[in-house]
């Protein structure tokens, strides 16, 4: 009896979603500028992480700053508050590191 109720619940849950793999992220055709912005920013952030792993300082800070700025712009265009908060905080942290470097504190 409990198993049947569970199976019915799961069946009902699956019927509500037509495509389980569908993303809520805007597609290239809906928002082409933000689609390119997110991919360019992602590639810049990957290169920045490679620079960080290889201790290529301070270029890693500047690349992170550019990539995060791009993702912040995408987050604002999508009105995605969690991405706005995440990228704003990360941008402030990297800006702090860049300012410290430029002032000679590092």
Structure confidence by residue, pLDDT tens digits, 9-37: 555 555 555 555 555 566 666 667 888 99
pLDDT in tens, 60-104: 999 999 999 999 999 999 999 999 999 999 999 999 999 999 998
d(CA 97, CA 106): 8
d(CA 66, CA 72): 10
97 inside domain:
yes
18 inside domain:
no
56 inside domain:
yes
- Which residues are within 8 A (CB) of 59 and not within 5 positions of it... i.e. 6 or more apart? 51
13 inside domain:
no
What is residue 63's DSSP assignment? H
Number of domains present in the structure of the chain? 1
Domain that holds residue 60: 32-106
74 inside domain:
yes
86 inside domain:
yes
- Which residues are within 8 A (CB) of 58 and not within 5 positions of it... i.e. 6 or more apart? 98, 101, 106
27 inside domain:
no
3 inside domain:
no
Judged against a pLDDT cut of 80, whether residue 3 lies above it is answered with no
């Amino acid at each position: 009896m409990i198993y049947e109720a569970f199976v019915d619940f799961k069946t009902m849950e699956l019927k509500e979603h037509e495509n389980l793999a569908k993303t809520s992220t805007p597609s290239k055709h809906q928002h082409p500028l933000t689609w390119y912005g997110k991919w360019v920013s992602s590639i810049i952030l990957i290169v920045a992480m490679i620079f960080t792993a290889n201790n290529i300082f301070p270029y890693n800070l500047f690349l992170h700053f550019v990539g995060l700025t791009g993702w912040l712009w995408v987050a604002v265009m999508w009105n995605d508050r969690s991405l706005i908060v995440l990228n704003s905080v990360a941008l402030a942290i990297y800006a702090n590191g860049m300012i410290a470097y430029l002032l000679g504190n590092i």
